[in-house]
Amino acid sequence: FVLDASGKRLRQTTWNWYVMDPSGLISGADTNGWKEYWVSRTKQEMRSTGSDGIFADSYDLAVINSCCGSLDPADPRFNATNPIKPPPVGLEWGKHINIFGSYVMRRFHSGPERFYFLPNFGGMITTWDTIRYWRHSDGGMVEGFAHWRNPFAVGDWKLQMNRILGITRLNKILILQSYPYNGKSFDTDDDDRAFLIANYLLIKGPRTYVALIGHGGEVEWYPEYDITVGNYIAPPPGRIDSLYDTAWKVYRRNYANGMALVNPTATPRPIASLGGTYYLHQGRGGGVIAPNGQKKGTLTTVPVTSVVVPAHGGVVLRTTPIPVELSSFRVVAGDGAFILEWTTETESNNAGFEIQRAQPGDAFRTIGWVKGHGTTTSERRYRFVDAAHHGECLKYRLRQVDVDGTATVYGDRLACPGAGMDGFTLGANYPNPARSNSTTTVTLTTAGETRLAAVPVLAVTDISGRTIRKVHPVQMNPQKATYIIPLNGFAPGVYLYRVQAGKNVL
């Protein structure tokens, strides 16, 4: 660990951890034994949890000093007076991190196993930070992608984008994580989400991913994740300036079925003519996915021939409209039947929907057809009743078919007799599939005046109905029971679970 002049460890006050010095560059001590201890314990943990790799958070020097807390005791070696001038330990810290990363990579990639090492790169807009951490990792996460709760100056935006493109062209894994602009919530800030998704498309490579972090701190789903503009036409460029459109005065990247436009400046950029009709993506809502697997929010497209790219903003345009925009799809248990209900926001040349059904673990087959509404921009509601389920759990999905025969599949939805009736809802287990996890979690909730009067026991069965394991809730109150199912001893396959709550079996 890094010690001060009196020999005391330096503690980061916000997250209550100590600053490590595994390379010995700061302390001058030989600490190879400590590096090996860290790697051995980490590999042991990854094996026991079935993990593919590790994310090394708080890796960047900015996290240690003024960005996110302070050091106790204070240490002038880590104090940066401004982004241009590094703290006294700045350049040495970069060398120190590279030595550590190189050692970890050698050990993670040795032997029959291969684990991934993904550090947090920070914001990557510190101009004195010339050390390329990513050359000593399998990739990593850019925290504060495209802005850090407030827009970057254009120069810093370019610096971050160019550094990201450098990683992308090395075919590294890259996670782009960002937070709501100006402290807003992604649940309501549609413009901010559009800006971040447009930036993501601007620099996207074959192993690049985006993560929008909501107000609760967890990764959440937003409609923009489902934007379908096809594959990029050209690979990521060497530098961001090569994507600048001098006529439109925005940064532009073309895709097989659309384009992304980004304006990092403080001045809106009106584009009087796009040269034809495009379809502007508009996302609404989003957030935490419901226990029943239903996603919040809708994604629509609006035909436009001109557009204004907002200041510190971005837009995504398709060359064709989304054929069918499905805003909801659920399956509920009725009296001796399963009822499928779904809603579309818009339709384009929609011939209709094939209703497909399968037993868990089996292939889907078509059991019915519901005619579509052709082309419409009005909300349409659909319903299909399957009375032939014979009291078993089944999976359903929709196969939407265009007039020209093009098809899109929506689903899957698992339905069991009695699930969701009489005020009880049994959520989907998470994670699912759980092949690399030692446990999976299920939640039973109630609605309205319904209360859990007794302790409901959860039973796990195979698809033949044989009970494999019974589990009591680990947490319970009158309206919620949480179950953690140990997976030791389970052979790979499909399993079902049920809970008896009063007269209901879910």
Domain containing 435 — which CATH number? 2.60.40
For residue 354, which of 345, 342, 336, 346 has the smallest C-alpha distance? 342
Summarize the confidence of residues 38-49 as an average pLDDT: 91
Q: Answer yes or no: is 283 within a domain.
A: no
DSSP 182-251: GG--TTT-HHHHHHHHHHHHHH--TTEEEEEB-TTSSB-B-GGGG----SBSSPPPSSGGGGEETTTTEE
In terms of pLDDT, which residue wins out, 80 or 200? 200
For residue 419, which of 482, 496, 342, 485 has the smallest C-alpha distance? 496
Q: Encoding tokens for residue 11?
A: 């503690």
340 in the same domain as 202:
no
Dist. CA 336–CA 69, nearest whole Å = 59
419 pLDDT exceeds 50?
no
Q: Answer yes or no: is 319 within a domain.
A: no
The number of distinct structural domains making up the chain is 3
Domain that holds residue 140: 11-248
124 in the same domain as 228:
yes
Where among 415, 435, 459 does a domain terminate? 415
> What's residue 421's pLDDT?
42
Q: Tell the residue number behind the tokens 């960002």, with chain if given.
A: 178
Q: Answer yes or no: is 411 within a domain.
A: yes
230 in the same domain as 360:
no
Q: Answer yes or no: is 458 within a domain.
A: yes
DSSP 329-378: EEEEE-SSSEEEEEEEEEEEEEEEEEEEEE-TTS--EEEEEEEEEEEESS
191 in the same domain as 46:
yes
CB 439 within 8 A of CB 413: no
Q: Encoding tokens for residue 383?
A: 């319903």
**Percent of all residues in the chain with a pLDDT value above 70, rounded to a whole number:** 80
Q: Answer yes or no: is 332 within a domain.
A: yes
Beta bridge pairs of residue 139: 173
Of 11-20, 52-61, 124-133, the least confident: 124-133
Q: Which CATH number goes with the domain that contains 176? A: 3.20.20
Could you tell me the maximum CA-CA distance found in the chain, to the nearest angstrom? Answer: 78
Dist. CA 269–CA 86, nearest whole Å = 36
CB 283 within 8 A of CB 315: no
Summarize the confidence of residues 417-421 as an average pLDDT: 51
The pTM assigned to this predicted structure is 0.67
85 in the same domain as 50:
yes
493 pLDDT exceeds 50?
yes
Where among 387, 415, 443 does a domain terminate? 415
| Residue 160 burial (CB count, 10 A) | 25
430 in the same domain as 388:
no
Q: Answer yes or no: is 274 within a domain.
A: no
Summarize the confidence of residues 23-35 as an average pLDDT: 70
401 in the same domain as 467:
no
150 in the same domain as 16:
yes
164 in the same domain as 35:
yes
Average pLDDT, the chain: 82
Q: Encoding tokens for residue 360?
A: 């868990």
pLDDT tens digits, one per residue of 232-246: 999 999 999 999 999
> What's residue 387's pLDDT?
83
Where among 206, 227, 248 does a domain terminate? 248
Q: Answer yes or no: is 307 within a domain.
A: no
82 in the same domain as 149:
yes
Dist. CA 230–CA 206, nearest whole Å = 13
> What's residue 1's pLDDT?
79
Residue 117: CB partners within 8 Å, gap ≥ 6? 53, 54, 56, 101, 104, 105, 108, 137, 138
Q: Answer yes or no: is 359 within a domain.
A: yes
**Phi-psi group of 259: left, alpha or beta (phi > 0 → left; psi -120 to 50 → alpha; rest → beta):** beta
Q: Which CATH number goes with the domain that contains 334? A: 2.60.40.10
169-181 CB burial, b ≥16 within 10 A, e <16:
eeebbbbbbbbbb
193 in the same domain as 120:
yes
> What's residue 437's pLDDT?
65
Dist. CA 380–CA 205, nearest whole Å = 37
**Percent of all residues in the chain with a pLDDT value above 90, rounded to a whole number:** 34
**Phi-psi group of 455: left, alpha or beta (phi > 0 → left; psi -120 to 50 → alpha; rest → beta):** beta
Of 65-74, 118-127, 149-158, 339-348, the least confident: 65-74
354 in the same domain as 212:
no
Dist. CA 412–CA 387, nearest whole Å = 19
Dist. CA 196–CA 315, nearest whole Å = 9
424 pLDDT exceeds 80?
no
